[in-house]
Structure 1
Amino acid sequence: ESPQPSLAYGQAIDAPGFHLMETPTHHWTETLTGLGATGAALILAHTSQPRPGHPFIPLLTLADADAPVTPDLRLRGDPVKWVQRIGQKVAQTLRGDYQPHALEQNNVDFQLTRGWLGIST
């Protein structure tokens, strides 16, 4: 059985814990915008392709050792040490000591979803 979302798209978090946000879209930028609206302070994404960030919320990208992208953190070496390296990069970013590549390169985007039944005219 698939896990059920604990938050609607863009719903603010009112209790600490692990949450899943409903996503009425497969559009990367719309999903980031919804995550930002929940109150997220940082977004962490494992990716194998370049991704635009969000203008208000730092996006840290992780990639495998051989991925054809330039991530904020490349996962290589001992996997046991990855958690510590990721934690350090998250802390540096939240303190303002590190600026993610997407923000540094002004590769950011913002777009609200039109929802399950939305249309464009």
Structure 2
Amino acid sequence: MSLIVVYNLKGGVGKTTSVVNLSWVSAQQGPTLVWDLDPQSAASFYFRVQPQKKAGGKHIFEGLDGLIHETNYPNLDLIPGSFTNRKLGNLLVDQPAKTLKKLLKPLAAQYDWIWVD
């Protein structure tokens, strides 16, 4: 599994557009997941998947499997965005890399690519 995170503090620089388009390309190669962590949920809008009401915050620690939705594109799944994702940074203060790795580990067998917007 390859994990690619596209991040920038400034808005409007093409993060979501890059993730949406490059994830579609990677889906041509194999199973791909996009995790829309942007509170504006723009990637979810692109893929026509409704943002989750309670997908972020503490709910994430219950596991990601139940949050995954299919898109209209083969081999391309999405964890929709949620306004509650804005709180996720506060929950990941202690060892954020280790926590994200633990959350994504169960998905490694399912996906060749995981993109985080």
- TM-score normalized by the length of structure 2: 0.35
Higher normalized helix content (fraction of residues): 2
**Higher Rg of the two aligned structures:** 1
Query: Higher RCO, 1 or 2 (CA under 8 Å, sep at least 6)?
Result: 2
Larger strand share, 1 or 2: 2
TM-score (norm: length of structure 1)? 0.34
